[in-house]
Amino acid sequence: MANALKKVPENQPGEFFVDSSCIDCDTCRQLAPSTFADAGEYSYVRSQPVGEDERRLALRALLACPTSSIGTTGKVSAREAMDDFPLPITEEVFYCGFNAEASFGANSYFIHHPEGNWLIDAPRFLPFLAKKFEAMGGLRYIFLTHRDDVADAGKYAERFGAERVIHRADADAAPGAEILLEGEAPCPFGNDFLVLPTPGHTRGHCVLLYRGRFLFTGDHLAYSRARGHLIAFRNANWYSWPETIRSMEKLQDYDFGWVLPGHGERLHLPASEMRAQLRRAIEWMKSR
C-alpha cells in the first residue's frame, strides 16, 4: 500500500501520488501516460487526471502497479476499476494487469481461444483474476517467454491444471514445467500458435506468434516512446547481444502487425510498416 509520507517530490498536488517504493517499471506510464511520467529512476504524477476517463486510467495503473507504489489521498476505491481486467486489446487478446514485482513489473497477456486459452507470462496470483480466467474458460497453456517473467505461473498452472511451456535452457526458473522446448527450430502448437526461439536476452528466450499477427515478445523486442522505434534492451542483456541480433534477424521471415512485449510499449502497425520498423531496429542494434 502506497505511503503518503513517502511521496516522491515531483508529484503534482492532488488526489493521486507515487511513493518512493517505485521500481521504475513503466507500467503506470503505459496505462495512464497523461497522468504519470518518468523522473529518471521512478515514476511520478506529472498531471492529476482530468475527467472520469483519465481518472479511470489512473485507477487501472494503481491496480496494475507491481509494488503498490501508487496511492490516493482521498477515500477512493480502486476496486471500481478491477472489473476492467483482463483489459481487451482485441476481441480475443487481453492484457492481464496486476503486474508482478517478481518479474520487475512485466506485462502478461491472455488469449481466449476455442481450443483452450493461453496465458503469456504471468501476473500476480489473485483469486479475483483466477475467477475471471475461469469465467472465460480457464487456462490450457501458460507460455513463459523466459526465466525473468515466470512470476506466479506455477500457482495458475496448479489452479487450472494448465501446462507450462518454456525452453529447457531457462527451465530451472519454472521447476516442474510440463513442456520443455529444445533447440532453435520453430515449434507449432496447432494451427494458430508458433513458438520461435530467440536466444539473446537469456539463453532460452522464446517469442510466441499467434495467428501470424500477434507477436508476444517477452524481453526480446519492444517499442520505445523515447526513441520512436522498436528496440531490444542492450543494458539488460543477460546472455549475448550478438545472439539477440541474430534472433532479431530471424523475425524478418514473419509478417505480424502487433508487438506485445513484457517490458516496453506495445506497437500495432500494418505488417509492411512493422517490417520497416524491424529493419530499423536491427540496424540500430548493430550500432550499439
The answer to whether 164 and 152 are in contact (CB under 8 A) is no
The x, y and z cell numbers of residue 266, run together, are: 506495445
In terms of domains, do 11 and 92 share one? no
Distance CA 226, CA 118 (A): 31
pTM: 0.96
What are the residues facing 197 on neighbouring strands?
Answer: 206
- In the chain, the N- to C-terminal Cα span, in Å, equals 39
* Domain end among 24, 51, 75: 75
Q: Spell out the SS3 assignment of 230-248.
A: EECCHHHCCCCHHHHHHHH
pLDDT at 75: 73
In terms of domains, do 203 and 101 share one? yes
In terms of domains, do 35 and 96 share one? no
CA geometry: angle 140, 151, 96, nearest 5 deg: 60
The x, y and z cell numbers of residue 285, run together, are: 542494434
Distance CA 288, CA 277 (A): 17
In 3D space, the residue among 62, 60, 101 whose CA is nearest the CA of residue 84 turns out to be: 60
pLDDT at 74: 78
Name the strand (E) or helix (H) holding 94.
Answer: strand 93-95
Supply the range of the domain harboring residue 104: 83-286
Domain holding 274: CATH number?
Answer: 3.60.15.10
In terms of domains, do 12 and 88 share one? no
In terms of domains, do 148 and 69 share one? no
Q: How far is CA 283 from CA 60, 245, 279, in A?
A: 36, 9, 6
Alpha helices in the chain, H assignment, sequence order: 27-31, 51-64, 127-135, 153-160, 241-250, 271-286
* Domain end among 27, 42, 75: 75
In terms of domains, do 99 and 71 share one? no
List per-residue pLDDT tens for the chain, 288 residues long.
Answer: 899 999 999 999 999 999 999 999 999 999 999 999 999 999 999 999 999 999 999 999 999 999 999 999 877 777 889 999 999 999 999 999 999 999 999 999 999 999 999 999 999 999 999 999 999 999 999 999 999 999 999 999 999 999 999 999 999 999 999 999 999 999 999 999 999 999 999 999 999 999 999 999 999 999 999 999 999 999 999 999 999 999 999 999 999 999 999 999 999 999 999 999 999 999 999 999
The answer to whether 200 and 232 are in contact (CB under 8 A) is yes
Distance CA 144, CA 181 (A): 11
Number of independent structural domains in the chain: 2
